[in-house]
């Protein structure tokens, strides 16, 4: 048995200032193992995996990789020793080519007489991209031209470059559409078959059941339990993770998709070059409207145009209030008239990493908090922020902690809560529950239902069909920049019916 | 089974947690004390090495006057630096304003209050030019402000090429009154601090500096806010140049030059982040401004050559940047 051991980590401790992220964590991984790592937001999953992946150092702990002591000095070093990692956040370097990203930190192997052999670099990069199943991404492309999903696939390529013994995948799949997920599942299978190992982090319990053959549960920085394949079940995982029983059915219980006829947001014939063409959308009062589709279908870009971030080349977006018609020219008009938008690209667009939780949450609400002479009291800010921190149980020391110190899921909660605190009437949510643990997801869905009941309207753009089916009154499926099908809420509607119209 | 509770609450882990608390608290205190300690150290150091020459009445008067000027500017510059604008036009704008004021007084006999308004208008116009160039043409602020600085400086140098402009000191002595100055300074600092910490205006600047995309998506009119920051900035520079002019009533080719660099150092010296954002604080900028002023003054009194002093300051700037610059942006993992 011990000969099959590939990685052994014993007594791992890590603290960030006051926060003890890992306490005496022991994890052993054997060959052929696909190890799921689960736990609530902020339980230490990313911290553990990034220590193994060489991105940070443990305070204490011993590591053995293939029976040799293992102490990586950087991600590149870890990769050279056989451990690659796909990180939770966006890990690209912008403004340079795909090939440069794939070979970042290891370009010197292509240098001859001090010059880089770009032909060879690009050829190699294309080979890796083709090998993992993404031949449509080309080495010469500039990384910023790619969409979210393809950028993530480039990271997968970088990770697979060195043919790793252990591949770490930190909370990546839920942000990806079918294509990206397919690529990752295939690679996992390939590693499994060739007797290597995978460390897989996700909050989607069904996915974990399907992909993994062992699961370790972390809670508050401590290993709670490790489940063998025969002990694994969604219920057990849920219970171990949040430490209490939970109902498990967190979607809407009703199948009543009717809502008022009053249209609150209308897009007429909008087009954005290379993304979508002549799209009409009418969002009604109290409606949850779902957008679904494969990557490149244009749904994310439609969301951006609806909020006034990108300008359409044809068509108009109009917000309809009682007796007013407000053309959405830019984001400031949208926000001033009670629209909200959660961007999918969290670190780049949705939060200020170097600012406190409080200042992130209060940002869109500042006009409301301003009293006479523009005064915004510290008290009103703290009250607003603390209420939101409590509502979504954001794991932090207090509202003054910097957002960049939070775990991925907790950052996402900050994004969501800043718009909840603002009291918006029309919310456009692009992958709002991405990276959020099941306990809080349940709370978020409850909140969405409450918003709906209060007559607020929501557009939910999501890669997850179950989420769309579970929450929407109406689902619009997009394909290649066109509306392909509209579904009304119904008990009989299943994923199969929908997928047909996506591909 | 439930080993979390055990593990977190075991005596050993509670002790570790306590230790961490102490460590963090110690570090926090140290970080907040260092800038003040540095300031005091400089004062004490130069008092000793110059055998008290830095604390004579005449030097203190001149020191206080310099501090007065640079503090006013630091307050205004905080708004621009907070949104990430790396402005370098101050000295040029201030010199130009002084020239304009002097010319109006000398040759047209304009009433003094009109002169003051005109001078402030000049600096506001300069900083609006910087804002317009950088926002309209999309050039970095540094480049835009460098252009404006060159133009302004060119005008001043041409005008003062042959002779300095000298006003009669006696006529304007009343402006040089220390009480008037102190009141104005306090008002500007108070208003600046209020705007910066307690209103949307300041908070928006910090948000823009933190992440311009997020700011835009939160409904902030980014361009408008940036423009407003420049107007306030120009206003502060304007007031400071009025007092600079009447302090020695002379305009030379060198008037105003060097302030921009002092402000740049002041900003980083006080611990104000170079890219702006949430950690921007006016007191940090002011403390930095006072420190750099005391340092410059001390070095000169000590007998260091003026050219060497600016070289020294450049070196100092580099060292602080190297020590404090947040490199995490370039890392692969945040
Ligand atoms: N750089 C940092 N500075 C301070 N605290 C940090 C830092 N990185 C992580 N933490 C803290 O360590 C704890 C564990 O975070 P980690 O990112 O490992 O959680 P996670 O299990 O990956 O959660 P998620 O599911 O949300 O991604 C959290 O409480 C977090 O706030
Ligand atoms: Mg994480």
Rounded to the nearest angstrom, the distance between the alpha carbon of A405 and the centre of ligand 2 is 11
User: How many whole angstroms separate alpha carbon A337 and alpha carbon A426?
Assistant: 9
B21 touches chain A (CB under 8 A): yes
pLDDT band of B326, cuts 50, 70, 90: low
Please state the ipTM of this predicted complex: 0.89
The pair of structure tokens assigned to B41 is: 């150290």
Nearest CA in chain B to A92: B332
Equal CATH topology for A5-242 and A260-338+425-503: yes
Tell me which of A46, A53, A88 to substitute to probe ligand 1's pocket, judged by most ligand atoms within 8 Å of the beta carbon.
A46
pLDDT of residue B332: 36
B216 touches chain A (CB under 8 A): yes
Q: Whole-number mean pLDDT of chain A?
A: 91
Please name which of A282, A278, A332 lies closest in space to residue A309, comparing C-alpha atoms. Answer: A332
User: What superfamily does domain A260-338+425-503 belong to in CATH?
Assistant: P-loop containing nucleotide triphosphate hydrolases (3.40.50.300)
Summarize pLDDT for A185-239 with one digit per residue, the tens. Answer: 999 999 999 999 999 999 999 999 999 999 999 999 999 999 998 999 888 898 8
Q: Say yes or no to pLDDT of B144 above 80.
A: yes
pLDDT of residue B6: 52
For CA atoms B175, B180, B186, B190, the dihedral sign is negative
Nearest CA in chain A to B19: A18
Summarize pLDDT for A350-380 with one digit per residue, the tens. Answer: 999 999 999 999 999 999 999 988 999 999 9
Nearest CA in chain A to B222: A332
Instruction: In chain A, count H helices and then E strands.
Output: 17, 22
- State whether residue B194 is helix, strand or coil: helix
Ligand nearest to the CA of A405: 1
CB A212 within 8 A of CB A200: yes
CB A238 within 8 A of CB A289: no
CB A495 within 8 A of CB A469: yes
CB A101 within 8 A of CB A154: yes
The pair of structure tokens assigned to A360 is: 């992130």
Q: Say yes or no to pLDDT of A275 above 50.
A: yes
Q: Do A375 and B220 touch (CB under 8 A)?
A: no
pLDDT band of A177, cuts 50, 70, 90: confident
For chain B positions 113-172, those within 8 Å of chain A (CB to CB) are none
Rounded to the nearest angstrom, the distance between the alpha carbon of A190 and the centre of ligand 2 is 25
**Does 3.40.50.300 match the CATH number of domain A5-242?**
yes
Structural domain spans, chain B:
54-332
Summarize pLDDT for B211-253 with one digit per residue, the tens. Answer: 999 999 999 999 999 999 999 999 999 999 999 998 888 898 8
pTM of the entire predicted model: 0.89
Find all residues with CB under 8 Å of A291, minimum gap 6, and list them.
A299, A302, A303, A459, A460, A461, A462, A468, A475, A476, A478
Determine the average pLDDT of the residues in A484-495.
92
Rounded to the nearest angstrom, the distance between the alpha carbon of A48 and the centre of ligand 2 is 9
Residues in chain A within 8 Å Cβ distance of B24: 17-18
Ligand nearest to the CA of B328: 1
pLDDT of residue B1: 42
Determine the average pLDDT of the residues in A251-264.
88
Please name which of A420, A409, A479 lies closest in space to residue A447, comparing C-alpha atoms. Answer: A420
Q: Whole-number mean pLDDT of chain B?
A: 88
pLDDT of residue B79: 96
Structural domain spans, chain A:
5-242, 260-338+425-503, 353-423
Q: Do B20 and A15 touch (CB under 8 A)?
A: yes
pLDDT of residue B275: 85
Does the C-beta of A47 come closer than 6 Å to ligand 1? Answer: yes
Give percent of chain B with pLDDT exceeding 70. Answer: 95
Residues in chain A within 8 Å Cβ distance of B2: 224
User: How many whole angstroms separate alpha carbon A115 and alpha carbon A370?
Assistant: 59
pLDDT of residue A246: 66
pLDDT of residue B133: 95
Does the C-beta of A45 come closer than 6 Å to ligand 1? Answer: yes
Residues in chain A within 8 Å Cβ distance of B220: 332, 363
pLDDT of residue A13: 93
Residues in chain B within 8 Å Cβ distance of A352: 207, 210-211, 214-215, 277-278
For chain A positions 286-325, those within 8 Å of chain B (CB to CB) are 307, 309
pLDDT of residue B5: 47
Does the C-beta of A42 come closer than 6 Å to ligand 1? Answer: yes
Summarize pLDDT for B84-111 with one digit per residue, the tens. Answer: 998 999 999 999 999 999 999 888 888 8
Nearest CA in chain B to A380: B198
Determine the average pLDDT of the residues in B165-171.
78
- Atom from ligand 1 closest to the CA of residue A396: 31
pLDDT of residue A3: 53
pLDDT of residue A312: 95
Does the C-beta of A44 come closer than 6 Å to ligand 1? Answer: yes
Q: Do B217 and A224 touch (CB under 8 A)?
A: no
A367 touches chain B (CB under 8 A): yes
pLDDT of residue B333: 34
In Å, what is the CA distance from A216 to each residue of A31, A35, B114? 16, 7, 76
Summarize pLDDT for B127-143 with one digit per residue, the tens. Answer: 999 999 999 999 999 99
Segment (H or E) for A218: strand A214-219
pLDDT of residue B170: 72
CA angle A99, A100, A104 (to 5 degrees): 120
Rounded to the nearest angstrom, the distance between the alpha carbon of A50 and the centre of ligand 2 is 9
Q: Do A367 and B198 touch (CB under 8 A)?
A: no
**Cα distance from B32 to chain A (closest Cα, Å)?**
16
Determine the average pLDDT of the residues in A457-466.
94
**Does 1.10.3470 match the CATH number of domain B54-332?**
yes
Q: What strands lie across the sheet with A19-30, from one edge to the other? A: A19-30, A5-16, A60-65, A68-69
Placement of tokens 């010296």 in the chain: B269
- Pairing of the two strands B250-251 and A339-342: unpaired
CA angle A443, A448, A452 (to 5 degrees): 145
């Amino acid at each position: 048995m011990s000969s099959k051991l590939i990685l052994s980590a014993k007594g791992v401790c890590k603290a960030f200032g006051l926060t003890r992220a890992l306490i005496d964590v022991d994890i052993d991984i054997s060959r052929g193992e696909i190890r799921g790592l689960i736990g609530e937001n902020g339980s230490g999953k990313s911290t553990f995996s990034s220590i193994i992946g060489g991105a940070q150092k443990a305070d204490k702990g011993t590591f053995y990789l293939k029976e040799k002591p293992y102490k990586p000095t950087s991600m590149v070093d870890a990769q050279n020793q056989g451990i690659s990692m796909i990180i939770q956040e966006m890990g690209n370097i912008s403004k340079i080519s795909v090939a440069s990203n794939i070979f970042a930190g290891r370009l010197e192997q292509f240098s001859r007489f001090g010059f880089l052999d770009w032909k060879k670099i690009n050829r190699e990069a294309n080979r890796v991209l083709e090998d993992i199943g993404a031949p449509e991404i080309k080495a010469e492309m500039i990384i910023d031209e790619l969409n979210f999903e393809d950028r993530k696939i480039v990271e997968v390529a970088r990770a697979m470059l060195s043919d790793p013994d252990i591949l770490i995948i930190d909370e990546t799949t839920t942000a990806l559409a079918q294509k990206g997920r397919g690529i990752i599942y295939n690679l996992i299978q390939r590693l499994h078959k060739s007797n290597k190992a995978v460390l897989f982090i996700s909050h989607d319990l069904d996915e974990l059941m399907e992909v993994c053959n062992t699961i370790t549960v972390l809670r508050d920085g401590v290993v709670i339990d490790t489940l063998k394949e025969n002990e694994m079940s969604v219920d057990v995982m849920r219970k171990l993770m949040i430490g209490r029983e939970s109902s498990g059915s967190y979607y809407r219980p009703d199948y009543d998709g009717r809502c008022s006829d009053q249209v609150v947001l209308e897009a007429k014939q909008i087009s954005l070059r290379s993304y979508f063409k002549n799209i009409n959308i009418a969002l009604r009062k109290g409606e949850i409207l779902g957008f679904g589709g494969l990557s490149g279908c244009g749904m994310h870009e439609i969301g951006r145009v609806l909020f006034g971030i990108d300008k359409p080349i044809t068509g108009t977006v109009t917000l309809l209030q009682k007796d007013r018609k407000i053309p959405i020219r830019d984001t400031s008009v949208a926000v001033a008239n009670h629209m909200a938008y959660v961007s999918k690209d969290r670190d780049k667009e949705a939060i200020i990493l170097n600012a406190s939780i409080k200042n992130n949450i209060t940002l869109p609400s500042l006009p409301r908090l301003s009293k006479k002479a523009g005064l915004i009291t510290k008290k009103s800010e703290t009250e607003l922020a603390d209420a939101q921190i409590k509502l979504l149980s954001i794991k932090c020391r207090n509202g003054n902690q910097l957002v960049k110190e939070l775990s991925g899921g907790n950052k996402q909660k900050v994004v969501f809560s800043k718009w909840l605190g603002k009291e918006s009437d029309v919310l456009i949510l692009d992958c709002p529950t991405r990276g959020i643990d099941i306990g809080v997801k349940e709370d978020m869905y409850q909140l969405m239902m409450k918003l709906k009941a209060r007559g607020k309207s929501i557009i939910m753009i999501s890669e997850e069909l179950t989420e769309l089916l579970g929450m929407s009154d109406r689902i619009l499926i997009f394909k290649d920049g066109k509306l392909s099908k509209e579904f009304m809420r119904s008990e009989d509607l299943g994923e199969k019916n929908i997928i047909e119209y996506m591909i | 089974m439930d080993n979390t509770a055990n593990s977190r609450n075991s005596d050993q882990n509670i002790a570790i947690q306590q230790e961490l608390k102490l460590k963090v608290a110690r570090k926090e205190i140290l970080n907040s004390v260092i800038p003040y300690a540095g300031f005091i150290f400089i004062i004490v150091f130069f008092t000793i090495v110059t055998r008290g020459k830095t604390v004579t009445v005449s030097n203190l008067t001149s020191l206080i006057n310099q501090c007065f000027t640079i503090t006013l500017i630091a307050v205004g510059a905080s708004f621009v630096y907070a949104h990430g604008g790396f402005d370098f036009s101050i000295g040029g704008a201030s010199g130009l304003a002084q020239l304009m004021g002097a010319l109006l007084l000398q040759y047209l006999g304009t009433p003094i209050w009109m002169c003051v308004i005109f001078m402030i208008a000049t600096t506001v116009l300069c900083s609006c030019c910087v804002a317009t160039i950088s926002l309209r043409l999309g050039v970095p602020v540094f480049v835009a402000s460098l252009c404006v600085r060159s133009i302004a400086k060119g005008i001043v140098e041409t005008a003062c090429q042959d002779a300095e402009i000298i006003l009669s000191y006696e006529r304007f002595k009343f402006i040089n009154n220390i009480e008037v100055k102190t009141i104005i300074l306090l008002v500007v600092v108070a208003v600046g601090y209020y705007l910066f910490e307690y209103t949307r205006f300041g908070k928006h600047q910090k948000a823009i500096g933190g992440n311009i995309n997020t700011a835009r998506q939160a409904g902030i009119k980014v361009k408008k806010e940036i423009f407003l920051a420049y107007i306030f900035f120009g206003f502060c520079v304007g007031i400071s140049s009025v007092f600079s002019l009447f302090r020695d009533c002379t305009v030379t080719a060198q008037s105003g030059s060097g302030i921009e660099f002092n402000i740049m150092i002041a900003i980083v010296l006080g611990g104000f982040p170079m890219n702006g954002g949430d950690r921007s604080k006016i007191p940090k900028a002011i403390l930095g401004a006072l420190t750099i002023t005391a340092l410059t003054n001390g070095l000169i009194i000590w007998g260091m050559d003026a050219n060497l002093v600016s070289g020294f300051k450049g070196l100092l700037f580099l060292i602080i940047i190297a020590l404090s610059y947040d490199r995490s942006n370039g890392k692969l993992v945040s």
